[in-house]
Amino acid sequence: MRVAAFDVGIGSIGWCVCEQDSDYRLIDGGVRIFNAAENKEKGTSLAAPRRIARSKRRQINRRKVRINAIKELLCNEFKKDKNLFLSKDNNLAPIYQTSKHNKSPWELRVKALDEKLSVDELMRVILHIAKHRGYAYTISNKDIQKSGDKSEYLTAISNNETNIKNYRSGAEMLFKQYFNKEIKKGFYESVRNKQGSYKNSLSQTMTRDELALILKTQERLGFKFSTNFKDEILKTTFFRRPLKDFSDKVANCKIFKDEKRAPKSALSSLEFIAVSRIINELKALCNENLSLNFNIKEIVINTIDEAMKVKELTYAKFRKIINLDENIKFKIQKPENTKFISLNEFVQLKKLIGSDFSSDEFDKIALCMTLSKDKNSLKTRLNESGFEFSDEILYRMLDLKYSGFIELSFKVIKEILPLMKDGFRYDEACALANLKEWATP
C-alpha cells in the first residue's frame, strides 16, 4: 500500500510517497515553493486590512446597540422621551452639552459620589460610563511583558489600578489629577487620552465599581429606582458577547486516554508541578554533593506550605527552608532571588473566595474558571458544580484569567501526588502506581 504525506506551509508544500510493507520505504519526495500571501514589508496577512476594518465595523455596531439599549432603559425608568438624545439643527442634544450651567460628565461623575444629581445629570453620567467603560480585564505584569506594542496602555492600566487605592473611583482619580490643570499658559491637561497617549486608561473593573457605587449613593440620597433597574444597567453597560465554548477541544490525558487533562491553575496541578521541581532540585543537589542528605518528605511539606503564603517562592527562600550552605550553588544561571515555584493562582483565588473549600472543590472551581471566559457561562458552570458566588466575585474570578492545561488528568495526579510528596520522582511514582504507559509532562 502506498501512502502520500504533505507538509503545507504559507510559502511551500512538502510531499513524499512511501510504500508500506513490513516497514515504510520512501519512493519519492519533494517540495513546491511559492510566494507567501503576506505583506513583504510588514510580514502581515494580505487579508489583515479587510479583517481589521470588518472587526471595527462590528465593534461600532455592537457599541451602538448597547448604547441604544441603555437609552431605552433610562427612558422607561425616568419616563423620558427618546428625542431627548437627538441632535437638532446640527447642534448637540442639550443633555450632552457642557457649559457654565451644565457641568462636564467628569465633574458629574465625581459629584455623584457626594451629592444627589438631577435626572438628566444621572442619565448623562450613566451614558458617559457606558461609552467609556474601559478595557475588559485588569492587567498583570506577565501580560505587559507579552504584549509587545500594547505595553504602553497595559502599563498605564496597571499603574492606575495601583493609584486608585487613594480615591473612591477612577473618574475621581483622573478628575483630580488632570481636570483643568494648566500645563503652561493657555494649555491644559486632558482627562481623556490624546492620540498616542494611554496614561488615563482604566479597566472595566474600575468603571464597573464606580457605576455601582454611584447608583448605590444616588439611591441613598433619594432616588427611587425600580426593582431591577440597577442590575439591568450594570448588566447592559458591561455586556460582553460570550466566547464560544471550547470544553470539547481539551485534549485527553497522556495516561488515562478517556480522561480530560487537568487545568494548569488547579491546586492539584500547581502542587504536582511544584513538588516535581522540589524533588528534582533536591536530587540534583544530592548528585552533585554526595555528603548531602535531605528529609525530602518534610522539605516538600514545608516548601508547599510556604509557597501557599506568597506570590512566588524564590531560590533564596528555598535555600533557607532546606538549610543549604551558601557555598553550595543551585544549577541556575539567574540570581537566587528569581522564582523557584509558585502557587500564585491558588493564593489569589483563596484570597478572593476564602479557604472554606476542600482541595477537590478548589480543583472544580479552577476547571470552571479555565473553561469560562464570561460571567454568565462561569456562573452556569459553577452552579452546575454546586457553587454559588455573587456577580462581583465572578468578575474578580475572570480577572484572574485562568488558562491552559497540563498533560495529565486529575485521576493520574491523585494517584501519584501522595507518592511524590513522600519523595518519589514522577517516573518512580508512576511505576509504583502501576502506570506503566507514563509520559513525561
Q: What is the 3-state secondary structure (H, E, C) of 218-237?
A: HHHCCCCCCCCHHHHHHHHH
- Residue 408 in any domain: the answer is yes
DSSP structure class, residue 25: E
Q: Which residue has the cell 473553561?
A: 371
Beta bridge partners of 260: 252
Same domain, 232 and 166: yes
- Residue 293 in any domain: the answer is yes
Same domain, 209 and 293: no
- Residue 438 in any domain: the answer is no
129 — pLDDT class (breaks 50, 70, 90): very high
Predicted confidence (pLDDT) per residue in 87-103, tens digit? 887 788 878 888 777 88
At 82, list the grid cell. 427618546
- Residue 220 in any domain: the answer is yes
Same domain, 77 and 137: yes
Tell me the average pLDDT of the chain.
Answer: 88
Contact 13, 31 (CB under 8 A): yes
DSSP H/E element including 8 = strand 2-8
Positive/negative CA dihedral, 279, 280, 286, 292: negative
- Residue 440 in any domain: the answer is no
Contacts of residue 421, Cβ cutoff 8 Å, sequence gap at least 6: 275, 297, 300, 301
**Mean of pLDDT values over 158-187:** 83
Contact 411, 433 (CB under 8 A): no
pLDDT of residue 138: 47
The answer to whether residue 144 scores a pLDDT higher than 50 is no
pLDDT of residue 137: 56
Nearest to 95 by CA among 116, 71, 114, 73: 71
> How many domains in the chain?
3
pLDDT of residue 188: 73
pLDDT of residue 267: 96
pLDDT of residue 156: 81
Contacts of residue 282, Cβ cutoff 8 Å, sequence gap at least 6: 294, 296, 299, 322
**Mean of pLDDT values over 26-42:** 89
CA distances from 205 to 139, 144, 398 (A): 11, 18, 10
Q: Which domain holds residue 17?
A: 2-33
User: Cα Rg for the chain, rounded, in angstroms?
Assistant: 29
Predicted confidence (pLDDT) per residue in 276-310, tens digit? 999 999 988 888 887 888 899 999 999 999 999 99
Question: Residue 41: phi, psi to the nearest 5?
Answer: -80, -45
Identify the residue with better confidence: 115 or 392: 115
Same domain, 136 and 191: yes
Same domain, 197 and 314: no
Beta bridge partners of 38: 45
The answer to whether residue 362 scores a pLDDT higher than 90 is yes
**Can you count the helices (H) and strands (E) in the chain?**
17, 7
Identify the residue with better confidence: 139 or 126: 126
Q: Which residue has the cell 442590575?
A: 231
Predicted confidence (pLDDT) per residue in 397-433, tens digit? 988 889 999 999 999 999 999 999 999 999 999 999 9
Least confident span in 34-48, 53-67, 144-158:
144-158
**Mean of pLDDT values over 185-202:** 78
- Residue 44 in any domain: the answer is no
pLDDT of residue 182: 67
pLDDT of residue 440: 46
- Residue 388 in any domain: the answer is yes
The answer to whether residue 231 scores a pLDDT higher than 70 is yes
DSSP H/E element including 184 = strand 182-184
Same domain, 199 and 330: no
Same domain, 312 and 421: yes
Nearest to 64 by CA among 121, 130, 119: 130
Nearest to 18 by CA among 35, 36, 4, 34: 4
Q: What burial class does residue 305 get, using C-beta atoms within 10 Å of its C-beta: 0-12 exposed, 13-18 middle, 19+ buried?
A: exposed
The answer to whether residue 224 scores a pLDDT higher than 60 is yes
Same domain, 282 and 374: yes
Chosen domain end from 237, 258, 290: 237
DSSP H/E element including 370 = helix 359-371
pLDDT of residue 389: 93
- The upper half-sphere exposure of residue 437, i.e. CA atoms within 13 Å in the direction of its Cβ, equals 5
The answer to whether residue 140 scores a pLDDT higher than 50 is no
Nearest to 5 by CA among 39, 30, 23: 30
pLDDT of residue 318: 92
Contacts of residue 28, Cβ cutoff 8 Å, sequence gap at least 6: 16, 17
pLDDT of residue 332: 78
Whole-model pTM? 0.66
Cβ neighbour number for residue 423 with a 10 Å cutoff: 20
pLDDT of residue 263: 96
Same domain, 123 and 223: yes
Same domain, 27 and 107: no
- What is the C-alpha separation between 67 and 128, in angstroms, rounded? 10
Same domain, 126 and 13: no
- Residue 139 in any domain: the answer is yes
pLDDT of residue 437: 57
**Mean of pLDDT values over 189-203:** 81
- What is the C-alpha separation between 53 and 134, in angstroms, rounded? 21
Identify the residue with better confidence: 139 or 15: 15
Same domain, 296 and 160: no
CA distances from 277 to 274, 346, 426 (A): 5, 17, 10
The answer to whether residue 149 scores a pLDDT higher than 80 is no
